[in-house]
Amino acid sequence: MTSSDPTVQPVPASVVERVDAADVTLSNPKRAVISLGGNLGNRLDTLQGAVDALEDTPGVRVKAVSPVYETEPWGVPPGSQPSYFNAVVLVRTTLPPASLLERGHAIEEAFHRVRDEHWGPRTLDVDIVAYQGVVSDDPQLTLPHPRAHERAFVLAPWHDVDPDAEVPGRGTVADLLAELGREGVRVRADLELRLPE
């Protein structure tokens, strides 16, 4: 893995290979990109819990986990909310997109996500950013995520785990990130999410 940020550490090949070996338990898996974020409670523990819950889902294998980023809240006045921790997870899955979304919502609920306010603070956000081979304008699950290309807090960790990734219809993650810049988005080299054993 390469990154323009020298503080970002690559995902060890041995870890990726170990997780790849688990793919044999899935029949014809698809690749999906999932964004995690939260700005309430113990943010790191919550993100780790979400990673573990994804791995515990039948038909889902976690392949890679990005570094943790600390980011300014998006879509709200500066200083009106605590900062977020964000990360991106790459998975292989046999679940269809709708079922993966349902699982994401269940994980959010397990961590007491409340949906009182648009762009309000939350313990956990689990968003499907992209799903292999699927482009959809379904309002329940638009793929790729309709605002992923505008969000450095999604693009930066996604680029870390998949430098060659593309947002269908928008361009490469690298180019989109270069255009947006990284203002308000910084890697937390002192924090780490573990790949499930």
pLDDT tens digits, 2-14: 344 443 334 333 3
Report the Cα 8 to chain-centroid distance in Å.
Answer: 16
Selection from 14, 15, 26, 18 nearest residue 93 by Cα = 26
- Categorize the per-residue pLDDT at 70 as very low, low, confident or very high, splitting at 50, 70 and 90: very high
Q: What is the helix (H) or strand (E) element at residue 186, kind and residue range?
A: strand 185-187
The pLDDT of residue 36 is: 97
Distances (CA, A) of 9 to 12, 68, 121, 141, 186: 9, 11, 29, 32, 14
CA angle in degrees (0–180, nearest 5) for 105-193-122: 40
Q: Does pLDDT of 42 surpass 70?
A: yes
- Separation of alpha carbons 25 and 21, rounded Å: 9
Q: Which residues are catalytic?
A: 113, 122, 125, 127
Q: Does pLDDT of 58 surpass 50?
A: yes
The pLDDT of residue 73 is: 84
Sequence spans of domains, the chain:
13-147
- Separation of alpha carbons 118 and 132, rounded Å: 28
The pLDDT of residue 193 is: 97
- Judge: domain 13-147, CATH 3.90.550.10: no
The pLDDT of residue 114 is: 62
Alpha carbons within 13 A on the beta-carbon side of 125: 24
pLDDT tens digits, 119-173: 567 889 999 999 998 999 888 899 999 999 999 999 999 999 999 999 988 999 9
Selection from 196, 182, 197 nearest residue 86 by Cα = 182
